[in-house]
Amino acid sequence: MRCEREHEVKDLLGRGHWPQASGEELRVHVAGCGKCGDLVMVSQAFRGARATAMQSAPAMAPGLIWWRAQVRRRQSALEQIARPVWGAQIFALAVTVLLGVGLVVVETRRGFDWQKGAQALHLEALLPMGGDGLEMVLLAACVGLVAVLGGVVVYLGMERR
Ligand SMILES: [Zn+2]
């Protein structure tokens, strides 16, 4: 059995206008009608429970929310920067290793005396006295320069993307 005023009461409850916006005549009806009375009682019980739950929930300060958002934003920005730098470092390392291996292979084919080469790596080889030592230093400088330039090129290319 439905009450013909139930819809009206439900509408007021849904909009949160009960009992302020209801007329005196409707309030008298709800007090007398079991169906509408139950509807109002259940709805107000739910509303009260929700209000107490909202009050007991710890409200986060707006400053804290803002600070957390800033930290999250900064972390994602750092991750975006770190990725290309990491890639450039790997590329530079790969180029250095490849050039080093290539240098060893070429020098061995040309009949490079490794004992003499080891002597050339001593500190006195840095002084431009022995031709072999100077050649080694220049080659090492060239390999380093190429590796650094390769890393810079890869970094710039990734940044433009
Ligand atoms: Zn009713």
Task: With respect to residue 23, please indicate whether it lies within any of the assigned structural domains.
Answer: yes
Task: With respect to residue 1, please indicate whether it lies within any of the assigned structural domains.
Answer: no
pLDDT at site 128: 54
80/103 same-domain check: yes
Tokens 């993307």 correspond to 161
Task: With respect to residue 116, please indicate whether it lies within any of the assigned structural domains.
Answer: yes
22/87 same-domain check: no
Last residue of a domain, one of 16, 33, 56: 56
Which tokens is 107 given?
């020098």
51/69 same-domain check: no
For residue 45, how far is its CA from the centre of ligand 1 (angstroms)? 18
Domains contained in the chain, number:
2
**pLDDT surpasses 70 at 151:** yes
Task: With respect to residue 80, please indicate whether it lies within any of the assigned structural domains.
Answer: yes
For residue 5, how far is its CA from the centre of ligand 1 (angstroms)? 5
45/79 same-domain check: no
Task: With respect to residue 132, please indicate whether it lies within any of the assigned structural domains.
Answer: yes
Q: Which of 10, 151, 160 is nearest to 89 (CA)?
A: 151
Burial 22-44 (b: 16+ CB within 10 A, else e): beeebeebbeebeebeebbeebe
Task: With respect to residue 76, please indicate whether it lies within any of the assigned structural domains.
Answer: yes
68/50 same-domain check: no
72/101 same-domain check: yes
Between residues 158 and 41, which one has the greater pLDDT?
A: 41
For residue 2, how far is its CA from the centre of ligand 1 (angstroms)? 8
For residue 161, how far is its CA from the centre of ligand 1 (angstroms)? 68
For residue 24, how far is its CA from the centre of ligand 1 (angstroms)? 14
For residue 7, how far is its CA from the centre of ligand 1 (angstroms)? 9
Using alpha carbons, list the distances in angstroms from residue 108 to 32, 35, 82, 126, 146.
108, 101, 39, 22, 22
52/82 same-domain check: no
The tens digit of pLDDT for each residue in 1-15 reads 678 999 999 999 888
pLDDT at site 131: 52
15/37 same-domain check: yes
For residue 42, how far is its CA from the centre of ligand 1 (angstroms)? 14
The tens digit of pLDDT for each residue in 75-128 reads 998 888 877 778 888 899 999 999 989 888 887 887 767 666 666 666 555 555
44/96 same-domain check: no
For residue 41, how far is its CA from the centre of ligand 1 (angstroms)? 13
For residue 29, how far is its CA from the centre of ligand 1 (angstroms)? 6
44/87 same-domain check: no
The tens digit of pLDDT for each residue in 60-89 reads 778 888 899 999 999 998 888 877 778 888
For residue 123, how far is its CA from the centre of ligand 1 (angstroms)? 103
For residue 50, how far is its CA from the centre of ligand 1 (angstroms)? 25
Task: With respect to residue 109, please indicate whether it lies within any of the assigned structural domains.
Answer: yes
Look up the domain containing 28 and give its range. Answer: 6-56
> How far is residue 134's CA from residue 130's CA, in Å, rounded to a whole number?
6
Task: With respect to residue 123, please indicate whether it lies within any of the assigned structural domains.
Answer: yes
